[in-house]
């Protein structure tokens, strides 16, 4: 899918070899001011190991991100309110003109500015993350002598374009609405190609799996390759033991579980299904009931059984025996699982070194600092489960299908979807 806010708006900018010229002699100060070394020129937002990201580039991309965010599916049509820091007057004025739901208090100019400021900060950080991550990917690829061939980029671009836009008219409308060019889109595709190649290089030779490893995993985790015995039940859950005994007596007398459950059961879920509970596996119920269920014979009326929820009377209607896949049946599944784990371990190890190396080479201008900047906050650990649960992106990490750009802001969906 063509991700519009994940596409680099670099004008004529292309993947290029890293500079081999160093600052030297009496020109040191002048060249450093102009961007050599790792200083940030006054008209730029960041310097990544001598590669400068200028403000014009940043602002172009910020505008595209803002347009895309406000063009999300389901969003109300509106005039694009581009962020205009530091006062956000135009942005706030545009927001105050937007129709509000009935009964909603009219927002003040101060509230509009604050909302614009929050949106700007979020967009700024996403754009900075993408621009810096793009430099990191290009640098890593260059260090590994990895290139994205024009033919590869063109093929991927054309495939994604065809998937997203059935007609050229829709494609041109998207370009106009997003404020991007075809070159911007192709640059993002080029980064995907580089990212995937870098990833392949990282895991190459590190994910070989031998048969003893597969056998050991199977022997240790047989439960993953089988289905436990399951039982279908008819149940009545009564709040009081006396009611459970009455229910048992009526069932013994030939009454149906549906009628008895309607009369006595406090379990609305099974009661609404005529007293039926299907597909119960061992260990899913409270221990007293679980033990009774899996000791009972099919068709045998059991109860009352006391639990913390009340008193159960039940009958086992059906027993589905458990099954176990053989080692031969599980072999390829296990091999793929172990290969994936080894590849991820290799990537995780690389990530930490990659981030540490390139963060040290990345300086950002005041007002543009993010976690990838040497003068910014600490990078989140991409291997920390807590960070992953919070949706923290892997900063500039080569990944399958993407190069670690910020979350998409309005990727063009397939037509009609």
Residue 100's pLDDT band (cuts 50, 70, 90):
confident
pLDDT the model gives residue 81:
65
The neighbouring-strand residues paired with 233 are 277, 316
What dihedral do alpha carbons 285, 291, 293, 296 form, nearest 10°?
180
Tally of structural domains, the chain: 2
State what percent of residues in the chain have pLDDT above 90: 60
Indicate if 169 and 304 belong to the same structural domain.
no
Q: Is the pLDDT of residue 142 over 60?
A: yes
Note whether 128 and 42 are within 8 A (CB): no
CATH of the domain at 312: 3.10.50.40
Phi, psi of 370 (to 5 degrees): -135, -175
Check residue 383 and give its pLDDT.
Answer: 61
The answer on pLDDT for 305 being more than 60 is yes
Tens digit of each residue's pLDDT (9 = 90 or more) over 15-50? 333 333 333 333 333 333 333 456 899 999 999 999
Judgement on whether residues 191 and 233 belong to the same structural domain of the protein: no
Domain boundary, last residue among 263, 286, 321: 321
Domain check: are 40 and 142 in the same one?
yes
Q: Alpha-carbon distance 187 to 185, whole Å?
A: 5
**Are 87 and 28 a contacting pair, CB within 8 Å?**
no
For residues 186 and 241, membership in a common domain is answered with: no
CA 353, CA 146: separation in Å to the nearest integer?
A: 19
Q: What is the mean pLDDT of residues 341-362?
A: 92
Quick one: pLDDT at residue 407?
A: 30
Residue 224, domain member (yes or no): no
- Please count the other Cβ atoms lying within 10 Å of the Cβ belonging to residue 403: 28
Q: What was the pLDDT predicted at 75?
A: 42
pLDDT at 245: 96
pLDDT score at 392: 35
> In this structure, is residue 415 part of a structural domain?
no
Judge whether 373 lies within some domain.
yes
pLDDT the model gives residue 96: 86
Q: State the DSSP H helix or E strand holding residue 64, giving kind and residue range, or none if neither.
A: helix 55-69
Confidence of residue 66 (pLDDT cuts 50, 70, 90): confident
**Cα–Cα distance, 213 to 356 (Å, whole number):** 33
Residue 114 sits in the same domain as residue 61: yes
Give me the domain span that covers residue 268: 229-321
Which pLDDT score, from 0 to 100, does residue 28 have? 32
Looking at the domain assignment, is residue 109 inside a domain?
A: yes
pTM for the model stands at 0.63
Most confident of the following: 38-42, 254-258, 378-382: 254-258
pLDDT over 60 at 359, yes or no: yes
Residues 267 and 375 in one domain: no
> Is 216 a member of any domain?
no
Is the CB of residue 51 less than 8 Å from the CB of residue 135?
A: yes
**Can you spell out the DSSP letters for 138-201?**
HHHHHHTT----HHHHHHHHHHHHHHH-SSHHHHHHHHHHHT--HHHHHHHHHHHHHHHHHHHH
Average pLDDT rounded to a whole number, residues 142-154: 95
Ranges assigned E (strand) in 220-340: 226-227, 230-238, 276-281, 301-307, 310-320, 323-324
Segment among 75-79, 153-157, 186-190, 240-244 with least mean pLDDT: 75-79
Least confident range of 15-29, 121-135, 213-227, 260-274: 15-29
In a domain, residue 80? The reply is yes
Q: Give the pLDDT confidence score for residue 380 in this predicted structure.
A: 72
Query: 268 and 347: one domain?
Result: no
Same domain, 270 and 367: no
Considering the chain, what percentage of its residues have pLDDT values greater than 70?
79
Q: Is there a single domain that holds both residue 188 and residue 110?
A: yes
What confidence category does residue 13 fall into, taking pLDDT thresholds of 50, 70 and 90?
very low
H or E stretch at 52: strand 51-54
Task: Judge whether 381 lies within some domain.
Answer: yes
Question: Is the pLDDT reported for residue 205 higher than 90?
Answer: no
Asked whether residue 41 is domain-assigned, the answer is: yes
Of 282, 288, 330, 295, the closest CA to residue 311 belongs to 288
Residues 66 and 202 in one domain: yes
184 and 73 in a common domain: yes
Residues 238 and 154 reside in one and the same domain: no
What phi and psi, each to the nearest 5 degrees, are found at residue 13?
Answer: -70, 135
Q: How confident is the model at residue 381 (pLDDT cuts 50, 70, 90)?
A: low
Domain boundary among the residues 321, 356, 380 is at 321
Residue 355 has pLDDT above 60, yes or no: yes
Query: What is the overall mean pLDDT for the chain?
Result: 81
């Amino acid at each position: 899918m063509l991700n519009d806010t994940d596409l680099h708006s670099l004008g004529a900018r292309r993947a290029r070899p890293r500079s081999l010229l160093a600052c030297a002699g009496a020109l040191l100060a002048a060249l450093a001011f102009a961007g050599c070394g790792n200083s940030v020129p006054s008209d730029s937002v960041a310097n990544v190991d001598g590669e400068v990201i200028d403000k014009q580039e940043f602002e172009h991309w910020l505008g595209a991100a803002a347009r895309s965010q406000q063009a999300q599916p389901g969003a109300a049509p509106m005039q694009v309110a581009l962020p205009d820091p530091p006062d956000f007057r135009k942005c706030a004025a545009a927001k105050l003109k937007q129709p509000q739901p009935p009964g909603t208090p009219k927002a003040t100019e101060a509230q509009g500015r604050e909302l614009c400021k929050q949106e700007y900060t979020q967009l700024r950080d996403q754009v900075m993350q993408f621009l810096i991550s793009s430099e990191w990917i290009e640098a890593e690829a260059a260090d590994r002598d990895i290139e994205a061939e024009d033919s590869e980029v063109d093929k991927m671009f054309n495939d994604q374009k065809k998937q997203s836009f059935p007609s050229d008219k829709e494609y041109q409308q998207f370009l106009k609405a997003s404020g991007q060019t075809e070159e911007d889109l192709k640059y993002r595709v080029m980064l995907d190609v580089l990212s995937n190649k870098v990833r392949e290089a990282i895991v190459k030779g590190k994910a070989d799996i031998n048969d003893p490893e597969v056998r050991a995993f199977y022997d240790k985790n047989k439960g993953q390759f089988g289905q436990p015995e399951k039982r279908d039940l008819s149940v009545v859950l009564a709040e009081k033991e006396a009611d459970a005994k009455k229910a048992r007596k009526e069932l013994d007398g030939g009454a149906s579980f549906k009628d008895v459950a309607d009369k006595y059961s406090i379990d609305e879920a099974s009661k609404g299904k005529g007293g039926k509970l299907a597909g119960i596996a061992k260990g899913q119920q409270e221990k007293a009931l679980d033990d009774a269920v899996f000791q009972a014979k099919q068709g045998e009326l059991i109860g009352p059984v006391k639990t913390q929820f009340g008193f159960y009377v039940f009958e086992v209607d059906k027993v589905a025996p458990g099954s176990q896949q053989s080692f031969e049946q599980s072999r390829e599944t296990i091999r793929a699982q172990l290969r994936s784990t080894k590849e991820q371990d290799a990537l995780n190890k690389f990530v930490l070194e990659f981030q540490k190396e390139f963060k040290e080479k990345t300086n950002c201008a005041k007002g543009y600092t993010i976690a990838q900047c040497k003068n910014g906050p600490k990078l989140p650990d991409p291997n920390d489960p807590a960070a992953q649960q919070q949706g923290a992106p892997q900063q500039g990490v080569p990944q399958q299908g993407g190069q670690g750009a910020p979350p998409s802001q309005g990727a063009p969906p397939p037509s009609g979807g």
